[in-house]
Structure 1
Amino acid sequence: MEQMQVKGKQKSWRYVMSLLLMAVAVIAGGQRVLAANAADAAVTQKKPKVYMEQTEVTMYPATTKTLKLHGASSKSKIKWSSSSKKTATVKSSGKVTAKARGTATITATYKSKEYTCTANVTYGTHKTSDGMKYKDTEGSFGHTGRWFKKSISGGKYYFTNTDGSAVYFKVTGSKYVNVNFVSKISAQTPYFAYSVDGGNMKRQLISNKKISVGNTKTHYVRLVIDAISENENRWGEAGVGIKSIKPVTSSGAVTAITPQNDTIAFYGDSITQGVRALNMALAPSGTSATHSYAWYCADKLNMVPYFAGYGGSGIAEAGCFNSLHNAISSFSMGRKASSYDADVIVFEHGTNDVHTYGDIFINEYKKALQMAHKAHPKAKVMVIIPFTQIHADEIRKAAAPYKKWCTVIETSSWRLSYTDGLHPNTSGAKTAGKNLAKTVAAKRKAS
């Protein structure tokens, strides 16, 4: 009996062991199947011999990126094309140049097969070494200042009769850019000035349209109409226009950018205009908006200057343009000024009002202050006492009722250097700009 029980237990044990062995075999087999499936998946996921390394790229206008077709035995046999040349172009090397916001399909055709990459061209923001912050925008250039559309020489172009008006653009793929000007002038040839990537301003006549950006990489250009002769009839719309801005090479691209910095507006006379800032010549060769106190002040504050400086003008005197009231309200005799955003407004007037005194001067000055405040209610208004100290008391009286938003800038202690005893030279303009910027910064910080 006991022997039978022992034999029964042995059979049961053998049965359990056999089941365990079967289970292990099933699990092992399953793992082999999984491993085999994984190997098969790895084979199916392996990249083909020829493929586009990037199937989608994001770019900013006037930038480049080179695409590569991996595995192609001969690059010369690859044919590249773009579905939208207005958005992006591509060279035989696979180099893509972004031109305008949008989407383009870049196709590489190799041995009758097509390989594609989607190029998304979008807007971005960019900074330069002079503290300016730019944003991409439509067109070939952005602009600030007193520009308006004018029909001239058979076309309609952006045009200005004011020194200091500026345009901005970005260029890639070309060492040189041609700025094609149109003009309505009867006196001397005007000057323009430009900087590349926030560097020092370079100055040349508008008859010399070619400017250098250094190399074919992406660069940011700031171009300023630097000097128009005071002898021009600005009130009758004498001035300079921009016909086109184009790269010298066909593969290059020029696109528009606009500054995002705050704006400081300057309403003044020849001192704001920069007359005789360079030398004694009462002409464009001696005048420079980019060497005026206004330019140096704006540069110190990293602000965009809006110039409305005209030689000989004043509260009542017309000068080469017209009186301050008309400078605020009008671009010319028959054209109203367009609106713009100003964070700070500076008045530099009174030097030329040698025939207007007392209550007449005070009331006219008040009227100008009220006009500026109405147009820009949030802006801080700064009024400079003329460097000669003429009308100092009257200006203080005119500004007194508006202390909440108007500040008088005293200048008697500035110790400026001049070319002719009236107009600051470059050194004097830098000193005046630095002193004014210090006061403006303090007032803005306190608000």
Structure 2
Amino acid sequence: MMIDLTLLTTDILNNTNLVGRWTIKQIHGIDTIYSTNLGSSLKFEINHSQFLRLNCFNNGNYLGNPQEVAIRIDGLTWTRFRVNELIELPLSDNQHLIEIMFAGNSDVDEIWTGKQGLAIKSIQTSKPAIITPYINRHHVTFIGDSITAGCWVNGKKTSADYSPYANYVGICSDILQLDATYIAYSAAGLIRHGLGGVPTTNEYLTKLDSETYYPLKRPELIVINLGTNDIIHSNQAFKLKLTDFYQQLTKLVPDSHYLFIIPFNQSFQSVFHEVFDHEPVILVETNDWQIPYTDQVHPNLAGSKIAGEKLAAIIQTQVFK
């Protein structure tokens, strides 16, 4: 297939909507569009191209399953690819909406200190392709752990069974047509460190990895789903961390709306009420959501749909009213 047009890092920055936390980082001596967050996506409209090809480094830890990306055309079905295989889809000459998402990684990927995040080298199309950013009306930031990142939605295989587009964040985002920023890492919490060298939430809130500061941008709404991984700690210890984290948020983005989800496993339910019952936040009860799970912790595909639909209804009526 003839390749006529190649978009490198600067072209991707200028011609697509980078949704979530992305930066330019040198990997193997080449500038890449880089992220450590599952759910980070590129959105753009394309005209007059016969195909779309995405070129990534196979950048994960060789001991784990390869990282995966998912691509959706015109809001239809997501197609998944491993980054170590050809990533290419045919297109018609008409206008299409393209979404490319970081969909899976391995728990052994050293994303914090080892530069083992997703690294996109280029996008290739045929001429005379016209590519323009696609920006949704609403922007919401989701802060959390593996549940928010989309781990274990489809099963128990790392990377392959992760699905940030089908977890509760993805479902909610599709219903409300959001540009969603995912700030979430596996096993992480307010007290517990995450996998891949990831620190606690108060630190990763404003860093993409150990060397990359990433300021928290002001969205319309910040949704927080934390506490599941801190369950071994005392209520008092968690209350102190939750209070500190809330103060950190209000200093960084004082004019945003805040929505705290009581963890699906009901961790620290009473603590959330103690901290937030008299604060200007939306506190979401989840004890009657009846969510089915993959492993007693992570909502499965059906559970993710239930949670995403319920959360979307709350946001629609209480924030986007």
- How many angstroms does 1:318 deviate by? 0.7
Q: What pairs up with 1:2-401 in 2 under 5 angstroms? A: 139-186=14-61, 187-236=64-113, 237-247=115-125, 249=126, 251-281=127-157, 283-320=158-195, 321-401=198-278
Mapped to 2, the partners of 1:424 and 1:299 lie a distance apart of 18
State the secondary structure of the residue aligned to 1:347.
Answer: strand
State the secondary structure of the residue aligned to 2:34.
Answer: strand
Mapped to 1, the partners of 2:67 and 2:313 lie a distance apart of 32
Could you say which structure has the larger radius of gyration? 1
Mapped to 1, the partners of 2:161 and 2:87 lie a distance apart of 22
State the secondary structure of the residue aligned to 1:413.
Answer: coil
Mapped to 1, the partners of 2:239 and 2:46 lie a distance apart of 49
Check the 8 A contact 2:142/2:184 in 1, yes or no: yes
Mapped to 1, the partners of 2:83 and 2:163 lie a distance apart of 14
How many correspondences in the alignment?
Answer: 309
Check the 8 A contact 2:143/2:182 in 1, yes or no: yes
Change (3 A) 1:209 1:145: farther
- How many angstroms does 1:164 deviate by? 0.4
| Length-normalised TM-score, structure 2 | 0.89
1:439 to 314, 317, 320: 314
Amino acid at match of 1:376: V
- How many angstroms does 1:213 deviate by? 4.4
- How many angstroms does 1:445 deviate by? 4.6
Partner of 1:410: 285
Check the 8 A contact 2:68/2:83 in 1, yes or no: yes
Mapped to 2, the partners of 1:445 and 1:252 lie a distance apart of 39
| Length-normalised TM-score, structure 1 | 0.65
Check the 8 A contact 2:47/2:131 in 1, yes or no: no
Check the 8 A contact 1:363/1:398 in 2, yes or no: no
Amino acid at match of 2:148: T
Identity percentage over the alignment? 22
Mapped to 2, the partners of 1:218 and 1:334 lie a distance apart of 39
Check the 8 A contact 1:138/1:255 in 2, yes or no: no
Mapped to 2, the partners of 1:224 and 1:141 lie a distance apart of 13
Check the 8 A contact 2:150/2:163 in 1, yes or no: yes
Mapped to 1, the partners of 2:320 and 2:13 lie a distance apart of 34
Change (3 A) 1:370 1:232: same
- How many angstroms does 1:254 deviate by? 5.0
Mapped to 2, the partners of 1:197 and 1:346 lie a distance apart of 27
- How many angstroms does 1:145 deviate by? 0.6
Change (3 A) 1:188 1:442: same
Mapped to 2, the partners of 1:442 and 1:174 lie a distance apart of 40
What stretches of structure 1 of length at least 5 have no aligned partner? Answer: 1-88, 90-98, 100-136
Mapped to 1, the partners of 2:263 and 2:55 lie a distance apart of 38
Check the 8 A contact 1:140/1:254 in 2, yes or no: no
Q: Name the structure with the higher helix share.
A: 1
Amino acid at match of 1:240: L
Deviations 1:270-293 (A, max 9, x none): 111111101122x00111111111
Mapped to 1, the partners of 2:278 and 2:207 lie a distance apart of 26
Amino acid at match of 1:338: P
Partner of 1:9: none
Mapped to 2, the partners of 1:138 and 1:318 lie a distance apart of 32
- Structure possessing the higher relative contact order (Cα contacts under 8 Å, 6 or more residues apart): 2
- How many angstroms does 1:356 deviate by? 2.2
- How many angstroms does 1:297 deviate by? 1.1
